[in-house]
Chain A
Amino acid sequence: MDWDIHERYKSTLLLAGLLFLSASLLAFHKNTTVHYFQVFLVRFALPPQRYLTQVSMPASASPGLLPPAQGDAIEAMPAVTDLSASAELLRKVRVLEDENTKLRGVLSLKSERWPRSVAAHVVGRDPQRWFQDIVLDKGSNDGLSVDDPVLALSDGREALIGRITEVSPRVAKVMLVQDPLSAVAAEVAGLSGDDGVVEGTNSHELLLKYLDRSSQVKIGDLVSASGLGKIFPAGVPLGWVQSIDPDPSKLFLQARLRPAAKSNALRTVLVITTGRNQE
């Protein structure tokens, strides 16, 4: 019984200490010391994330999607007698081919459109904040800074997916356009040419708000960043209009958008480096 009381007392005391420590970390999360502590912890958490990103089969590369065993990569394989080993090798080749295609797309986008940019892998995503942020494997050491816009390649075209909100030397956090806190100045392409603000809904969809009630916007119209906020480059697609309704105040129209980039298939992204916040 004495042991019980001792254990309870000791555990409660420890809990109080741990809660105090956690609450202090939360309260002073902008403090430099806390930031360095976080950077230190990231070193332990990052290796698994990097490894999983490297080995995982991209969602688009389902078996049979790519041509059967042929081409240079397959010819270069050593003779494999074991069927399961060769199937594994084939899977790896498919993964590499798919990644190669995606990287080539991103790199061509980088050289043709955005020479001052950095390609990065998505290495972390919290399931409870799935539509809010992602973690990249590049940081301030690679020239990234807060508010840099982030693009992805989707179906062969660029798409705006968010902006950097936190940078450490080796990793960076991106606030996705689906985050309810995100707001991007946008314009509707085509005859309408209306300006509005694209906000996140914490789901796949986006919401284009503050459209004039007389707007000629129609379903299927492309909505791009207008560049008015000075953070996102003008003309980068955000999504397509799916439905149009009056907003709750009935003063404006609002449109639901299908995002240009699939938020569930983000693997490699391009960060447009502006260096605006680097000292």
Chain B
Amino acid sequence: MKKTLFYLLTVWIILWMQIASNHYLGGTLFAVQWVFLAVLHFGLVRGPWVGESTGFIWGLLLDAAALGFLGLHSILFSLAGYSTGMFRRQLDFSKLWTQTILSWVATMAYYTAYYLITRLVSSADEPLRWAILTVPVVNAIVAPVFFSVLEFWGQLWGQMPQERDR
């Protein structure tokens, strides 16, 4: 029950953060992808199962919020959660640089995939936007602090990282 409440609240709060970020910073090149970072964190700390499940739910909610193609973000976020979950044993996630570089690489991959899929789906010629370069950098800078906050939030609820559970 406590675990379910933890995940429901986390999904809800981070969805709010993302919508607020889009609302205030969406027109700039610095809108942090909070949801994406949270998916990476869940994948790394709690494993691929949690990473892909939360990624799928957040993706659906974000697609619905923008009345966009339902399923587009859920594909990308599920893949992100799964991949980070699978790689977590090869990475020393406690290191600051690992978190930064991983966030940068993953956000770049996410933006590139998003760009390629929308180019494939849309009949319009989708031009490349500067956000594809700036947002990964912003995400990489914010990631260590955000990951710490998420870890602290998890500890408040008694939700220890999966590795430490076993």
Q: Is the beta-carbon distance between B47 and A25 smaller than 8 angstroms?
A: no
Question: Does any Cβ of B come within 8 Å of A69's Cβ?
Answer: no
Closest CB in chain A relative to B68 CB, distance in Å: 6
Given A11-B85, A15-B48, A181-B122, are A23 and B71 neighbors across the interface (CB < 8 Å)? yes
Q: How far is the CA of A8 from the CA of B149 in the complex (A)?
A: 28
Question: Does any Cβ of B come within 8 Å of A128's Cβ?
Answer: yes
Measured between beta carbons, the chain B residues less than 8 angstroms from A125 are: 22-23, 26, 66
Question: Does any Cβ of B come within 8 Å of A108's Cβ?
Answer: no
Which residue of chain A is the closest to B22 with respect to CB atoms?
A127
Q: Is the beta-carbon distance between A133 and B26 smaller than 8 angstroms?
A: no
Measured between beta carbons, the chain A residues less than 8 angstroms from B70 are: 25-26, 29, 34, 37-38, 41
Which residue of chain A is the closest to B11 with respect to CB atoms?
A44
- Chain A residues with a Cβ closer than 8 Å to the other chain, count: 51
- Chain B residues with a Cβ closer than 8 Å to the other chain, count: 50
Q: Is the beta-carbon distance between A128 and B114 smaller than 8 angstroms?
A: yes
Contact of A264 among B16, B27, B68, B122 (CB under 8 A): B27
Give the residue among A44, A46, A133 with the most B Cβ atoms within 10 A: A44
Closest CB in chain A relative to B39 CB, distance in Å: 12
Which residue of chain A is the closest to B124 with respect to CB atoms?
A180
Question: Does any Cβ of B come within 8 Å of A73's Cβ?
Answer: no
Contact of B67 among A48, A133, A203 (CB under 8 A): A133
Enumerate B30-70 residues with CB–CB distance to A below 8 Å: 31, 47-49, 52-53, 56, 59-70
Q: How far is the CA of A19 from the CA of B79 in the complex (A)?
A: 8
Closest CB in chain B relative to A219 CB, distance in Å: 25
Measured between beta carbons, the chain B residues less than 8 angstroms from A11 are: 47-49, 52, 82, 85-86
Question: Does any Cβ of B come within 8 Å of A10's Cβ?
Answer: yes
Q: Is the beta-carbon distance between A29 and B69 smaller than 8 angstroms?
A: yes
Map CB proximity to B onto A44-74 as digits: 1 under 8 Å, 0 otherwise.
Answer: 1110110011001000000000000000000
Question: Does any Cβ of A come within 8 Å of B74's Cβ?
Answer: yes
Which residue of chain B is the closest to A51 with respect to CB atoms?
B16
Closest CB in chain A relative to B109 CB, distance in Å: 15
Interface hit among B96-104, B125-133, B152-160: B125-133
Map CB proximity to B onto A110-142 as digits: 1 under 8 Å, 0 otherwise.
Answer: 000000000000001111111001010000000
Question: Does any Cβ of B come within 8 Å of A97's Cβ?
Answer: no
Q: Is the beta-carbon distance between B27 and A45 smaller than 8 angstroms?
A: no
Contact of A135 among B52, B66, B127 (CB under 8 A): B66
Question: Does any Cβ of A come within 8 Å of B150's Cβ?
Answer: no
Q: How far is the CA of A42 from the CA of B121 in the complex (A)?
A: 22
Q: Is the beta-carbon distance between A49 and B23 smaller than 8 angstroms?
A: yes
Enumerate B1-39 residues with CB–CB distance to A below 8 Å: 15-16, 19-20, 22-27, 31
Contact of A15 among B23, B66, B72, B82 (CB under 8 A): B82
Measured between beta carbons, the chain A residues less than 8 angstroms from B47 are: 7, 11
Closest CB in chain B relative to A104 CB, distance in Å: 24
Closest CB in chain B relative to A34 CB, distance in Å: 6
Question: Does any Cβ of A come within 8 Å of B123's Cβ?
Answer: yes
Instruction: Show the binding face of B for A, using Cβ within 8 Å.
Output: 15-16, 19-20, 22-27, 31, 47-49, 52-53, 56, 59-72, 74-75, 78-79, 82, 85-86, 114, 118, 121-127, 129, 131, 166
Contacts A25-B71, A41-B61 aside, 11 further interface pairs with beta carbons under 8 A come to A7-B48, A11-B82, A18-B52, A19-B79, A29-B69, A42-B64, A124-B67, A126-B26, A130-B27, A180-B125, A180-B126
In order of increasing CB-CB distance, the 8 nearest A-B pairs are: A41-B64, A25-B71, A45-B65, A11-B48, A126-B66, A180-B124, A127-B26, A26-B71
Instruction: Show the binding face of A for B, using Cβ within 8 Å.
Output: 3, 7-8, 10-12, 14-15, 18-19, 21-26, 29, 34, 37-38, 41-42, 44-46, 48-49, 52-53, 56, 124-130, 133, 135, 166, 168, 171-173, 179-181, 201-203, 264
